[in-house]
Structure 1
């Protein structure tokens, strides 16, 4: 009979997977629909990066309170209400008849999605013993990996043969199934300590995040908004300084900094991990535009190429645990960052003259190049983290990831506009140079991953037990 702890972790991971799939499918189908949406709303395609960054902005502002709300109101209640709200706001996105109304619905999506996924992750990490962490995370993250595989071609097919609002209506059946499962299987995690809410920390942190992400978004677009963007970035620097000082001195900060003292968390989240994610997320925004605007492909065919990339990623996921166990985190992440940089470099050399099957095969290989590396970074974040600090580490890690995504998307939009001479439609040369810069970002992560200790994350990969066994065998021989 299987271990009850493992069985409970598996069930919770499956329910969490449904929510992650819904959020993931929503963001991936949106990217392939952006050019068609831009035409319907009468704006430039790069201007619609706002539809993504506004989601990130609201998510970043609310992330700090997700753990506290889950503790106070109960994890099951918060999770189910958030899933219901996300489903209904998705329908609202599809029904929106104007860009302002669409952005309002995206704000609602972000608010509910921000509560749904982090609270679910905290529940999973809290109830799962370390020895089962890789298994639970593999289950919960697999649908999130399938969503990018299914999303681009599905979004392209819907946008090409139906209309873009339908890319949001598909969340309705997924949300209905997830609600039933959440109400039955998500456990209520009782807080061991009811900490007071850090109002000053929340105000400073939320203001800093909003100013930073809005400033990045403004600076990425041409026109008078750039001056406002610069002012917002200056305000963000001031607010960020005060927020950091408060987090260091407060007894119960809304965003604890204590997880940063763990080397594995710091490098995979703040240091090398940020550079790798900038390359990964920036490429995810650039390629759909390059394929449709630069190559002249339809949204459907562009989605098929993204499917190939994500399918290559999924294909190698099954060997990630064994690879990490055999080589260790440091070797896998160092070699992986170089492979990602090389694969992005290949994307910069693609041309519309290549036959579509060749493009498909190349994108499949690009996805394979990043697969084990991205899995390793995700597992390393919590590999050496004690259960008592999982909640704070989850909040801090999600905040950094949201900021990284905002910086990558806004940076790419700004680069495309700058390199295209301010034209509404980016040039092919602008796409190539932008992709080359993203490849450099991935390559710069390599020396930072080299700073990892040889036994980083050994408890999760099983290398500790393997090392002890070898030591016993050697002592027996002696």
Structure 2
């Protein structure tokens, strides 16, 4: 378990950076003299860079070795964090976020690949479980830590917090991670360019749609059309080239396709929209301070962490397929109810709603991660790791962009000058509907999918 835990440190830094920023967005917008809705580009630019560069991670890992690439990525991520903290201009800040995303693109898939290559299938569930903890623990620490830093110091220290974690991570990687190499195939430059252009158009198009300007929304719609066209070209290219950047044959594995491309993207989009919308609602609609809003988010995120302690027995008892279906519905109801959390409501009621939503999120993320590689044979784990990281970033980026878009559309329909509580409530309800809709895809999974990973006994499986 040592290698999975070391990889988890890098994941923790990456996830912490995504969650610690949400409570500071209004302060950052004020510092850069931009509208708070435009600060969503600070999140989407990061996710876009990850999506664009992640496709090259597998080839680079085979070329220069997993340890070399992993350590370099952590060091670059740390330096980019310093750049974000020092930036005095909005565009410089966005450049720093892009550099962070490029480094993160090499961290997630390569770290996951190291774990997959060093774990037997019977141990895969335990190893992958170690990688889930950062995604649950970092959000618990992130919002209140970001709020505390913003309140007592300056939002820039949010990024400086990555420095000690990054230094420790690099040292551990150099000491314990094997520097595995594989025979490097020719680099699919055309595939990389096509995918980069398509993913860039998709992410930036979604972001432009959230701007309350007719010209920006028109450009956003045009970029989405371009992204769809490029997606078709990419699919054609990958199927016909001799050495594709991402081998599309992995999509023939049904459980991987559903958990990574269809249901998985929808679930991650809804999950990612919630931590973006909640702190903005608390601060803009209710006038809370960053520290107050961060304190409320602790309940939501703490439920994520506590739920993880019982997810393995639940998955073993009811199976991954049933867990995904029910957690999608539960999470959807919880996200929708989050729109009705308010300082005027009973504290216990607020806590129950936030805990309910957080628990559903935790179960969903754990089950998706477990089923992702359940039926993937060892030779296909490298392309599966890259493609899984790619679709994960698309889902997260789409969630933030869609959350901002729903706010803008609601505000525009009311002809209002500023965002208000009805806008946030509508956005959260629609995000909940999005989460629940993923259950339709999970119904297509085999009833016994992932049983070998969870250790579920054959006698515990329901008859066909």
3-state DSSP class of the match of 2:20?
helix
Deviation at 1:78, TM superposition (A): 0.8
Deviation at 1:207, TM superposition (A): 1.0
Deviations along 1:128-187, whole A, 9 cap, x unmatched?
Answer: 111111111122321332110000000001111111001001111111111111110111
Q: Which has the larger radius of gyration?
A: 1
Equivalence map 1:329-344=2 (5 Å): 329-344=320-335
Q: 1:443 aligns with which of 433, 436, 447?
A: 436
Equivalence map 1:32-431=2 (5 Å): 32-191=23-182, 193-223=183-213, 224-356=215-347, 358-421=349-412, 423=416, 425-431=418-424
- Is the Cα contact below 8 Å between 2:136 and 2:362 reproduced in 1? no
Higher mean C-alpha deviation, range 295-304 or range 163-172: 295-304
- Is the Cα contact below 8 Å between 1:288 and 1:302 reproduced in 2? yes
Separation (CA, whole Å) in 2 of partners of 1:423 and 1:121 = 46
Deviation at 1:279, TM superposition (A): 1.4
- Is the Cα contact below 8 Å between 1:264 and 1:457 reproduced in 2? no
Deviations along 1:389-417, whole A, 9 cap, x unmatched?
Answer: 11111111111121122222112111111
Separation (CA, whole Å) in 1 of partners of 2:319 and 2:460 = 16
Deviation at 1:469, TM superposition (A): 11
Separation (CA, whole Å) in 1 of partners of 2:322 and 2:95 = 45
| Unpaired segments ≥5 residues, structure 2 | none
Higher mean C-alpha deviation, range 258-267 or range 356-365: 356-365
Separation (CA, whole Å) in 2 of partners of 1:247 and 1:426 = 43
Deviation at 1:358, TM superposition (A): 4.4
Higher mean C-alpha deviation, range 332-341 or range 342-351: 342-351
- Is the Cα contact below 8 Å between 2:13 and 2:162 reproduced in 1? yes
Higher mean C-alpha deviation, range 160-169 or range 247-256: 247-256
Separation (CA, whole Å) in 2 of partners of 1:81 and 1:371 = 30
Q: TM-score, normalised by structure 2?
A: 0.95
Q: 1:469 to 1:45 in 2, by over 3 A?
A: closer
In the alignment, which residue of structure 2 is the partner of 1:433? Answer: 426
Deviation at 1:360, TM superposition (A): 3.5
Higher mean C-alpha deviation, range 112-121 or range 156-165: 112-121
- Is the Cα contact below 8 Å between 2:260 and 2:372 reproduced in 1? yes
Deviation at 1:355, TM superposition (A): 4.4
Deviation at 1:468, TM superposition (A): 7.8
Deviation at 1:432, TM superposition (A): 0.8
Deviation at 1:208, TM superposition (A): 0.7
Paired residues, number: 458
3-state DSSP class of the match of 1:333?
helix
CA RMSD of aligned residues (A): 1.7
Q: 1:431 to 1:176 in 2, by over 3 A?
A: same
- Is the Cα contact below 8 Å between 1:417 and 1:424 reproduced in 2? no
Deviation at 1:54, TM superposition (A): 0.7
Separation (CA, whole Å) in 2 of partners of 1:250 and 1:306 = 47
Separation (CA, whole Å) in 1 of partners of 2:286 and 2:230 = 43
| Unpaired segments ≥5 residues, structure 1 | 1-9, 471-478
Deviations along 1:428-451, whole A, 9 cap, x unmatched?
Answer: 111111111111111212222122
Q: TM-score, normalised by structure 1?
A: 0.92
- Is the Cα contact below 8 Å between 2:269 and 2:397 reproduced in 1? no
Separation (CA, whole Å) in 1 of partners of 2:423 and 2:12 = 33
Q: 1:338 to 1:408 in 2, by over 3 A?
A: same
- Is the Cα contact below 8 Å between 1:308 and 1:363 reproduced in 2? yes
In the alignment, which residue of structure 1 is the partner of 2:453? Answer: 460
Higher mean C-alpha deviation, range 399-408 or range 77-86: 399-408
Deviation at 1:362, TM superposition (A): 3.0
Deviation at 1:320, TM superposition (A): 1.6
Deviation at 1:117, TM superposition (A): 2.1
Q: 1:230 to 1:362 in 2, by over 3 A?
A: closer
Separation (CA, whole Å) in 1 of partners of 2:295 and 2:31 = 23
Separation (CA, whole Å) in 2 of partners of 1:373 and 1:24 = 17
- Is the Cα contact below 8 Å between 1:46 and 1:424 reproduced in 2? no
- Is the Cα contact below 8 Å between 1:293 and 1:425 reproduced in 2? no
Deviation at 1:356, TM superposition (A): 4.5
